[in-house]
Structure 1
Amino acid sequence: MPAEISMHRFGEAVSKAADAATVYGALEELSMAHVGAKLFTLMTFDRASGLASRCYSNMPEAYPASGTKTVDSDRWSDHVLDGQQNFVANDIESIAEVFDDHELIRSLGCESVLNLPVVVGGEVLGTINLLHEKGFYTPDKVAAAEILKLPGSVCFLMEKLSKGGQ
C-alpha cells in the first residue's frame, strides 16, 4: 500500500479516535503495511522520573500494556534514549546483550528487533518497537520505518495528554 494512503488512513483514525488505543492500533497497521512485525509495542519514557511504561502491545498476554519499570542506564538507553538513534539487532544473541527478556522474545518467534525513538522538542517521548524473525530488519526496512516516527509522535503526545501532561 502506498505511503500516502496509509498516512491518510492514520490521519482519519486520529481524527475519529475516541481513545488513544484506537490511534495506537492505526500506528500498528501503518507499521505492518510499511515495515512488518510479529510483535509490536509502544513504550513511553520519562527520563526525569526514570520510568518507562508500555502503553500498547499487539501481544498483551506476553507483553501487557500496563505498569511501569525503571529505565536503567546501559548501552541501549545510551544509544536510543540519550543518543536518539534507532536500535537494530538481527539475531537473538545481539538481543540478549541488551534485553533480559530475550528468551520470551525468542519463544514468540522473534529474533530481530527495531526500536525507533520518537523525539519531540528534543525529548524522547517513547519508542516504537518492532520485532520479527531473524535478520528481518534490513537497512531498507530500517529506512522505511522512518515514516513511522511522525505518526508515533501523535500517539505519544496523545498518551501524554491522556495522563494529564502538557
Structure 2
Amino acid sequence: MTDLEDLEKRVRQEVGVRLFTVLAWVPERRALRRVHSSHPGEYPVGGEKTVEVAQGWLATCIEAREPYFGPDRAAVREVFADHAVIESLGCGAIINVPVVDGGEVLGVLNILDAEGRYDAGSVAVAESLAPLAVPALRGGAR
C-alpha cells in the first residue's frame, strides 16, 4: 500500500509544496474528511469540510473529476473559506486533483505553495501522482 507520507515526499520532489493534504470523499454526506496533513496544527487529520468550498469547485473536482487550478491568491480567496489560514502559511496557489479509481472519486489531493509557483505542467505532474493515493483511500483511510 502506498503510504501517504511517501506520496507527500513525491509531491514535494516533483511538484513542490508548502501545504499538502489528502481528503477522502464521503458521498453520503457530500463531505471531505482529511486523512493526511503536512500541517496537522492548522489542518488536523479527521477534520471535515462540507460545502465550505464553492459549488463550482465540487462540480469540477468531484462531479467532473477534473483538477482545479488556482494560480494566485485571488483564485484561492474566491473558492476557499479558509483562505486566511492558507495565506498565513505562505500559500497563494493551489492544485486540487481528484483521486479516481474505477470511475469512483475516492478523494482529493490538495497541493499548495506560493502564488505563481504552479503552471499547467505542475497540474499535469500532480495528476500523474494522484493514483498513488488509491491504495490508502481504498484501504480504510475513508
Normalising by structure 2, report the TM-score. 0.92
**Structure 2 residue aligned with 1:27:** 7
Question: Once the two structures are superposed, what CA deviation does each residue of 1:48-100 show, in whole Å capped at 9, x if it has no partner?
Answer: 22221001101111111123332467010001100100000011111111100
Query: Aligned partners of 2:47, 2:74: CA distance in 1, in Å?
Result: 27
Larger RCO (alpha carbons 8 Å, 6+ apart): 2
Report the CA distance between 1:158 and its aligned residue.
Answer: 1.9
Question: What value does the CA root-mean-square deviation take over the aligned residues?
Answer: 1.6
Determine if the alignment matches structure 1 residue 90 to structure 2 residue 71: yes
- Runs of 4+ aligned residues of structure 1 deviating over 4 Å after TM superposition are none
**Structure 1 residue aligned with 2:83:** 102
Following superposition of structure 1 onto structure 2, how do residues 9-24 of structure 1 map, counting pairs within 5 Å? 14=1, 23-24=3-4
- The residue matched to 1:60 in structure 2 has which SS? coil
**Structure 2 residue aligned with 1:10:** none
Query: Aligned partners of 1:129, 1:159: CA distance in 2, in Å?
Result: 19
Following superposition of structure 1 onto structure 2, how do residues 35-114 of structure 1 map, counting pairs within 5 Å? 35-71=15-51, 74-114=55-95
| Number of residue-to-residue matches in the alignment | 141
Following superposition of structure 1 onto structure 2, how do residues 83-162 of structure 1 map, counting pairs within 5 Å? 83-160=64-141
Normalising by structure 1, report the TM-score. 0.79
Larger Rg: 1
Query: Aligned partners of 2:133, 2:7: CA distance in 1, in Å?
Result: 7
Query: Aligned partners of 1:113, 1:138: CA distance in 2, in Å?
Result: 10
- Cα pair 2:67 2:127 within 8 Å, conserved: no
Q: Which consecutive unaligned segments of at least 5 residues does structure 2 have?
A: none
% identical equivalent positions: 33
